[in-house]
Amino acid sequence: MAAPIAIHLEFGGGAELLFDGVKEHHVTLPSQSEPWDVKQLLVWIRENLLKERPELFVQGDSVRPGILVLINDADWELMGELEYQLQDQDNIVFISTLHGG
Amino acid sequence: MFAFLTTCVFMYDIVADCSDNVPTRYLVNDACVLSGKPLVSASALRMEGQLTVYNYNGGPCYRCLYPVPPPPETVTNCSDGGVLGVVVGVMGCLQALEVLKIASGQKSSFGQQLLMFDAQDSRFRCIKLRAKQAGCVVCGETPTVTELQDYESFCGSAATDKCRRLNLLSAEQRVSVQEYKSIVDCGTPHLLLDVRPKVEVDICHLPVSIKIPLASLEDQNADHINFLKEKISELKLQMSSELQVPVYVVCKLGNDSQKAVQLLEKMSGTELERITVKDIIGGLMAWANKIDPSFPKY
Ligand SMILES: [Zn+2]
């Protein structure tokens, strides 16, 4: 069994509006048989945190186009994207790209 | 337009993207990649800004990061979402600084980096981005985009930050601001329902309006629905009994009001007494433009 892990989630660039306008969330992911990865985290967020309109956040298994995911201050592409295994105290940021000016 | 842009980009050494919509951002990116120019790109919305230098020093381009454009309904433009001038100013200054650094032969700090500015929390953060992507359709190893395309159809949205105009209702379900003005002038009994969020109602509203945000109608908020019921009954008492209470729905630009009309029509005769619902075309901004120039525009 993998022990429960505490992680820090942040939403920005307007993505926080899908979470009642709250930018920062400290959450604990429950213990489960395998280690948590980002793919499972997205499902967990959808079921536990998302307040409205999931299609504006997730699309299929992943985030919708236009949302950048950062794992410990690095683009998730550098970290293995959906397969990245979450560690205790990780900082995961979901940022909606801005287009205005 | 494409010939113009290509010539334009070829004439300069550095390009700054200060545009305000998605298709233009893809267009400018591709023009820069195709002509080999660094792209200093800044954007802002509400209290946040982002800055990256694309196609610079072997780093990624805009498409490496965003191979698929965002669904149009997820894009908030500045005229809908609002933006603080100071935030745009801060981002513009940082952008100008990077242009000067590149122009003077110094290195930019934002190749393969994303600077995020959160004005609310006064926080700057710098993020390491992915490398240039081998599979990128424009800057990758076997590019398929070798000339500029139709970016509006690629993104499914217009190259403008103007608000989209919905057309959900038939002509009989809508009135112009002039028609509504004459209804007011004639003293015809009616309800005016303002469906904007409270923060916008607090900026300005028409004095006779009752206020229920669209979100409350969508969520069937019991307090708000009861409030509307009471208002309808009150007015019904003043009218000859066989007539339905007319309800005119208004919002800022006439998009949300149409959605509200559709919701209210479903509720008419069930949750609510039978009513006649219409939206006011163009909303309060049309009122400000055509009827009352002293009404605030925002
Ligand atoms: Zn690229």
pLDDT band with cut points at 50, 70 and 90 for residue B226: very high
- On whether both B146 and B211 belong to a single domain, the answer is no
Strands A5-12, B191-194: pairing is unpaired
Q: How far is B14 from chain A (nearest CA, A)?
A: 18
- On whether both B149 and B211 belong to a single domain, the answer is no
CATH superfamily for domain A5-96: Beta-grasp domain (3.10.20.30)
Q: Does B49 touch chain A (CB under 8 A)?
A: yes
ipTM of the prediction: 0.87
- On whether both B138 and B6 belong to a single domain, the answer is yes
Q: Does B90 touch chain A (CB under 8 A)?
A: no
Find all residues with CB under 8 Å of B126, minimum gap 6, and list them.
A73, B109, B110, B113, B114, B115, B116
CATH number of the domain residue B93 falls in: 3.40.50.720
What pLDDT was estimated at residue B272?
Answer: 87
- On whether both B176 and B72 belong to a single domain, the answer is no
Contact yes or no for A14 and B46 at CB 8 A: yes
Last residue of a domain, one of B129, B155, B181: B155
Return the residue matching tokens 């994303």. Answer: B114
Is the pLDDT reported for residue B206 higher than 70? yes
Is the pLDDT reported for residue A52 higher than 80? no
Of B277, B247, B281, nearest to B262 by C-alpha is B277
Q: How far is A64 from chain B (nearest CA, A)?
A: 7
Average pLDDT estimate for B168-179? 91
Distance, CA of B125 to CA of A12 (rounded, Å): 12
Has residue B94 been placed in a domain? yes
Contact yes or no for B68 and A12 at CB 8 A: no
Residue of A nearest to B121 (CA): A23
Q: What is the pLDDT of residues A33-46, one digit of tens each?
A: 999 999 999 999 99
pLDDT band with cut points at 50, 70 and 90 for residue B176: very high
* Lowest model confidence (mean pLDDT) among B4-18, B36-50, B89-103, B139-153: B4-18
pLDDT band with cut points at 50, 70 and 90 for residue B1: low
Active site residue B18: no
Last residue of a domain, one of B155, B180, B215: B155
Instruction: Tell me what percent of the residues of chain A surpass a pLDDT of 90.
Output: 75
CB pairs under 8 A between A and B: 90
Contact yes or no for B128 and A12 at CB 8 A: no
* Lowest model confidence (mean pLDDT) among B46-60, B127-141, B144-158, B283-297: B144-158
- On whether both B246 and B280 belong to a single domain, the answer is yes
- On whether both B123 and B237 belong to a single domain, the answer is no
Has residue B245 been placed in a domain? yes
- On whether both B19 and B150 belong to a single domain, the answer is yes
Q: Who wins on pLDDT, B50 or B4?
A: B50
- On whether both B147 and B77 belong to a single domain, the answer is yes
Averaged pLDDT score across all residues of chain A? 92
Is the pLDDT reported for residue A72 higher than 90? yes
Residue of B nearest to A66 (CA): B70
What pLDDT was estimated at residue B162?
Answer: 65
Q: Where are the domains of chain A?
A: 5-96
- On whether both B32 and B142 belong to a single domain, the answer is yes
What pLDDT was estimated at residue A54?
Answer: 86
Of A65, A51, A89, nearest to B219 by C-alpha is A51
Contact at 8 Å (CB) between B206 and B192?
yes
Contact yes or no for B76 and A100 at CB 8 A: yes
Is the pLDDT reported for residue B88 higher than 90? yes
Has residue B161 been placed in a domain? no
Is the pLDDT reported for residue B137 higher than 90? yes
Has residue B297 been placed in a domain? no
Find all residues with CB under 8 Å of B243, minimum gap 6, and list them.
none
Of B21, B43, B130, the CB nearest to A77: B130
pLDDT band with cut points at 50, 70 and 90 for residue B2: low
Contact yes or no for A99 and B45 at CB 8 A: yes
Is the pLDDT reported for residue B164 higher than 70? no
* Lowest model confidence (mean pLDDT) among A46-55, A91-100, B271-280: A46-55
For residue B228, the enclosing domain spans: 171-290
Max Cα separation, chain A?
Answer: 49
Total domain count for chain B? Answer: 2
Q: Does B27 touch chain A (CB under 8 A)?
A: no
- Tell me the chain A residues in contact with residue B114 when contact means C-beta distances shorter than 8 Å: 68, 75
Last residue of a domain, one of B123, B155, B187: B155
What pLDDT was estimated at residue B5?
Answer: 73
Has residue B195 been placed in a domain? yes
Instruction: Tell me what percent of the residues of chain B surpass a pLDDT of 90.
Output: 70
Has residue B11 been placed in a domain? yes
Average pLDDT estimate for B68-84? 78
- On whether both B180 and B64 belong to a single domain, the answer is no
DSSP assignment string, B88-122: HHHHHHHHHHHHHHHHTTPPPS-BTEEEEEETTTT
What pLDDT was estimated at residue B78?
Answer: 64
- On whether both B125 and B219 belong to a single domain, the answer is no
Contact yes or no for A96 and B46 at CB 8 A: no
φ, ψ of residue B249 in degrees (nearest 5): -110, 135
What pLDDT was estimated at residue B163?
Answer: 61
Active site residue B93: no
Indicate yes or no: pTM above 0.80.
Answer: no
Is the pLDDT reported for residue B106 higher than 80? yes
Q: Who wins on pLDDT, B185 or B1?
A: B185
Is the pLDDT reported for residue B80 higher than 80? no
- On whether both B145 and B7 belong to a single domain, the answer is yes
Q: How far is A77 from chain B (nearest CA, A)?
A: 6
